[in-house]
Amino acid sequence: MKSISSSLKSAARLVRGIFLLTLIGMSGFTPASSQTIIGKWNQMKIKTYYTAEGAKKNGSPESEIQMSSIGSATYVFYDNHTYRMESTTGNSKVVTLLGTWSLSGNKLEMKLLPQQEDPKNNPKTGAPAESTTVDFHGNIMEWTSNHLDDAIISKIVLTFAKNS
């Protein structure tokens, strides 16, 4: 009886040990799907896809603009679900926008706060939150917005790099 009981106790300790080692080993593992938006993101480029009519007008089905050629845009997403965006174009002063965000699966919703630093950037009353699809590829984030009701643009993809 004693040997069966002690064998069962040893087996139970072994199973607990394997379980703990598995937990410890996986604690440093972060699957790609759990990539976080929290942090500072620098916009790298804007890629625009045109409808057939837009492609005729622009002479190409798509265009790509590197942000470094026109200015800069940086988004900082905070864990309290607020964000700050600072952008410049050419020699203009820095434009700062503040808002709230939520991410559900790959759907990002952003809404400007009613009172911005510059009142001309205040959102119109009742303006809906902007919604976009977000994809993470390591330290690269892409926002895709489809423009279903636009005769010229079919979709826009913004690409960001995480600032470490």
What are the residue ranges spanned by the domains of the chain?
38-163
Asked whether the predicted pLDDT for residue 10 surpasses 60, the reply is no
Query: Around 55, how many Cα atoms within 13 Å sit in the side-chain half-sphere?
Result: 9
| CATH class in words for 38-163 | mainly beta
Distance in angstroms (rounded) separating the CA atoms of residues 18 and 21: 5
Q: pLDDT of 117-152, one tens digit each?
A: 888 999 988 888 888 999 999 999 999 999 999 999
Q: pLDDT of 97-106, one tens digit each?
A: 999 999 999 9
Which of 4-8, 82-86, 90-94, 157-161 has the least mean pLDDT?
4-8
The model's pTM is 0.75
Between 160 and 26, name the one with better pLDDT.
160
Q: Across residues 30-54, what is the average pLDDT?
A: 85
Q: How confident is the model at residue 35, as a pLDDT? A: 78
Whether the CB-CB separation of 42 and 74 falls below 8 Å is answered with yes
Instruction: Provide the mean pLDDT of the chain.
Output: 83
Distance in angstroms (rounded) separating the CA atoms of residues 54 and 52: 5
**Cα dihedral: 36, 39, 43, 49 (round 10):** 20
